[in-house]
A and B are shown apart, each in its own frame.
Chain A
Amino acid sequence: MGKYILKRVLLMIPTLLGAAILVFLLLRMAPGDICAVRFLGTGMAVAEDQIQLCREQLGLDKPQIIQFFDFVWGYFIFDLGNSMWTGQPVTHEIAIRFELSMQVAIMATIVATVIAIPLGILSAVRQNSMTDYLVRGFAIAGIAIPSFWLGLMIILGLLIVTQSWFGEPWMPPIQFKSIWEDPAHNLAQLVWPAVATGYRYSAVATRMTRSAMLEVLREDYVRTARAKGMVEKIVINRHALKNALLPVVTILALEFAFLMGGLVVTEQVFNLNGLGNLMVDGVERQDFTMTQNLVMLVVIIFVFTNLLTDLAYAWLDPRIRYS
């Protein structure tokens, strides 16, 4: 097992390094840079030397290899540099938005789990019935409906419903307040994006639950349990579900890392100032330090989730270690 862990950890190094190179190059291949965006955005005539000065201040005139080295070295000394746009440290910009995005991500996971597991079980137990088709349709719709549009529809629905019930339209609050500070305000704002992302996220997990349950329900020990005359509810909950949950938990864990990606679009719809929003702003402003570090953050989260899942699997099933 020790050797396997070592191998997996070592394999992460080329992946992370490659991702860093890819992000770094992609951003710098784009025409223009933040200095051009900043000065041209004002609409005033700008002297060439002014742009040059801006580049010098931000270190954009240094050779690319040095810039890349600075970027990677930042991870070893825990200094990711300053945002080129605001001048604040990248870690600070991330930290003030982290709570919001993390909370939406966690709430979306809860929404997804609550939808996925019962529906998946129901669908598997009643395979090929009307219920099964409805659940599968519902799950596929979850993958098909863009979460940003679902978000729009939720806001629209809220407006219409509150208008007709209370006489005046109500919109979720825009200002973020921490859940510890003002829970009612916080939830009123974040429940909706969590539902919009959570539904999409649940779709994959529902399908996973269904297929895992179908597989397990055909196992001999389930038949034995039934043959013993055990109540069906216990057979399903205690015997089948426990063994079917492993792949479902994996999917939920892996998708959690991808939630960051989903949030990019959803945060735009709900006007949330979170990490996704920060990334879109970074891309538009060509704020290299901001964008490359945010993308790396997502990649690192994803690679580590992957590692943990692989290790958990290897620990549970020794055969995997040898393949």
Chain B
Amino acid sequence: MVTVSEIQTEAEFEEVAPKKPWSRILMDLCRKQPLGVFGLAIVIAMILAAVLANIVSPYDPLQEHYEAMLAPPGTDSFLLGTDEFGRDILSRLIYGSRTALLVGFVCAIIGATAGLVLGVASAYFGGLFDLILQRILDVFMAFPLIILALAVVATLGPGFQNVMIAIILPFIPQCARVVRSNALAIREIPYVDAARALGFSNARIILRHMVPNVMAPYLIMLTTFLGQAILLEASLSFLGLGVQDPVPAWGLMLTNASEFFEGAPWVAIYPGVAISLSVFGFNLFGDAVRDTLDPKLRSR
């Protein structure tokens, strides 16, 4: 039996809990999720690089230094060398983090959110709507990620926005599928019935009662998408179907690298390191989010 005093202590607890110093919370986190904290550090470093790009980068990423084409790292304060047009690689990498982060966040958020809405609606309405929607999602899920993205880019043409659409589209069914299966279980819980019996509108039941309860799978999918989107953009740009020159983008920087890399390996090495490191960071962070939110989903 719960007594009044117990409830009071619980209330006190809630007040006390947030007062835990930040350093302590960080320490706890480091102990429980060392890989996740490492990932978060990479992500934060990347965000800082993107935000402060015009302060920290030594050169203009678009400026071509014809006197120093394919200069090796270290010459004339080109810390990581220059590319075939004499553009400073370090500056291009720093500015490239803007492209990567923008694509990553926009695609992950839109893709996951659209999936959330479709998934919950599909589970809530059920019946014919669910059946048809699921068949449509089946169709999209039958394509490997990059092939669907490739087909969309082929249709819309290359370019920044089109690449983002090509990345978002395959994400939606993935998230919708996961959210739907979670939402199906929630629909059976009595409080949804109660809400319906009270005559609440469908929109209200979906938004207030069902969506908050599928936040865990939603956030998990969202963090997984972050890394995937960056990788996919890099692959499409590498194939020449993504972001177009002279926009600094990591995948694009590798497109011509194979022509020069015998004589100038740095052109090929650093952008790949940047891609790998950032996706690595996002994935580690995503894994930690997954472990924290739902230990049962730790399957992949």
Contacts of B202-239 to chain A: CB distance below 8 A: 227, 231, 234-235, 238-239
Secondary structure type dominating chain A contacts: helix
When the two chains form their complex, are residues A18 and B135 in contact, meaning their CB atoms are under 8 A apart? yes
User: Quick one: given A18-B138, A133-B35, A149-B254, are A298 and B154 in contact (CB under 8 Å)?
Assistant: no
> CA–CA, A291 to B280, complex, Å?
33
B131, chain A: closest CB distance, angstroms: 10
A11 to B139, CA, bound (A): 11
Select A140's contact among B151, B234, B284, beta carbons within 8 Å. Answer: B284
CB of A122 closer than 8 Å to a CB of B = no
Taking a contact as CB atoms under 8 Å apart, the answer to whether B146 and A264 are in contact is yes
Q: Nearest-CB distance from A73 to chain B (Å)?
A: 20
Contacts of A302 in B (CB 8 A): 142-144
Q: CB-nearest residue of chain B relative to A207?
A: B300
B34, B276, B299: which contacts A141 (Cβ < 8 A)?
Answer: B276
Q: How far is the CA of A169 from the CA of B231 in the complex (A)?
A: 31
Residues from chain B with a CB closer than 8 A to the CB of A295 are 143, 147, 151
B residues 137-158 in Cβ contact with A at 8 Å = 138-140, 142-147, 150-152, 154-157
Does A59 sit within 8 A of B, measured CB to CB?
no
Instruction: Report the Cα distance A279→B147, complex, angstroms.
Output: 9
Q: Are A15 and B138 in contact (CB under 8 A)?
A: yes
Q: Are A144 and B154 in contact (CB under 8 A)?
A: no
Chain A residues closer than 8 Å to B147, beta-carbon distance: 260-261, 264, 279, 295, 298
Q: When chains A and B are docked, how far (Å) is the Cα of A279 from the Cα of B151?
A: 10
> Nearest Cβ in chain A — how far from B241, in angstroms?
8
Chain A nearest CB, measured from B33 CB (Å)? 11
* Chain A residues with CB below 8 A from B35, complex form: 133, 136-137, 140
Question: Which residues of chain B are within 8 angstroms of A19 by Cβ–Cβ distance?
Answer: 139, 142-143
The answer, among A144, A169, A260, for a CB contact under 8 Å with B283, is A144
B-contact bits for A161-186, CB 8 A (1 contact / 0 none)? 00000000100000000000000000
Determine if A146 is an interface residue (Cβ-Cβ < 8 Å): yes
B135 x A153 contact (CB < 8 A): no
Which of A29, A149, A159, A303: most chain B CB closer than 10 A? A149
B244 contacts the other chain (Cβ, under 8 Å)? no
- A114-146 CB mask vs B (1 if < 8 Å, else 0) is 000000000000000000010011001101111
- Chain A's nearest CB lies how many Å from the CB of B185? 12
**A152 engages B258 (CB within 8 Å):** yes
Which chain B residue lies CB-closest to A214? Answer: B298
Beta-carbon contact of A30 and B157 below 8 Å? yes
Q: How far is the CA of A23 from the CA of B142 in the complex (A)?
A: 12
Contacts of A141 on B, CB cut-off 8 Å? 276, 280
Q: In this assembly, does A258 line the interface, its C-beta being within 8 Å of a C-beta of chain B?
A: yes
Beta-carbon contact of B272 and A152 below 8 Å: yes
B265 at the interface (CB under 8 A from A): yes
Q: Taking the complex as formed, is B45 at the interface, i.e. its CB lies under 8 A from any CB of chain A?
A: no
Is A80 part of the contact surface with B, judged by Cβ < 8 Å?
A: no
The proximity string for B residues 239-278 relative to A, scoring 1 for CB distances below 8 Å and 0 otherwise, is 1010000000001001001100110010011011001111
B144 near A208 with CB under 8 A, answer: no
Check if B138 sits within 8 Å of A14, measured CB to CB.
yes
Q: Which of A29, A140, A265 is in CB contact (< 8 Å) with B280?
A: A140
Q: CA–CA, A19 to B280, complex, Å?
A: 32
A153 near B272: Cβ-Cβ < 8 Å: yes
Other-chain residue from B143, B150, B155 in contact with A279 (beta carbon distance below 8 A): B150
A34: min CB distance to chain B, Å: 12
User: Is the pair A208, B300 in contact by a Cβ cutoff of 8 Å?
Assistant: yes
Q: Complex formed: what's the CA distance from A159 to B263 in Å?
A: 11
A299 within 8 A of B: yes
Q: How far is the CB of B118 from chain A (nearest CB, A)?
A: 16
Q: Assuming A137-B35, A264-B150, A268-B239, is B144 touching A146 (CB within 8 A)? A: no
Q: Which residue of B lies closest to A20 (CB)?
A: B139
Q: Pick the contact of A303 from B142, B154, B156 — CB < 8 Å?
A: B142
Indicate if B121 sits at the interface (CB-CB under 8 A): no
Does any Cβ of A come within 8 Å of B287's Cβ? Answer: yes
Shortest B266–chain A CB gap in Å is 11
Contact A149 B276 (CB under 8 A): yes
In the complex formed, the residue of A with least CB distance to B278 is: A144
- By CB atoms of chain B within 10 A, which of A140, A257, A265 has the most? A140
CB contact under 8 A between A146 and B143, given known A15-B135, A279-B150: no
Chain B interface residues toward A at CB < 8 A: 34-35, 135-136, 138-140, 142-147, 150-152, 154-157, 227, 231, 234-235, 238-239, 241, 251, 254, 257-258, 261-262, 265, 268-269, 271-272, 275-280, 283-284, 287, 298-300
Interface, chain A (partner B; CB < 8 A) = 11, 14-16, 18-19, 22-23, 26-27, 29-31, 133, 136-137, 140-141, 143-146, 148-150, 152-153, 155-156, 159, 169, 204, 207-208, 211, 247, 251, 257-258, 260-262, 264-265, 268-269, 279-280, 283, 286, 291, 295, 298-299, 302-303
What are the 5 closest A-B residue pairs judged by CB atoms, nearest first? Answer: A261-B144, A18-B139, A149-B272, A144-B279, A144-B280
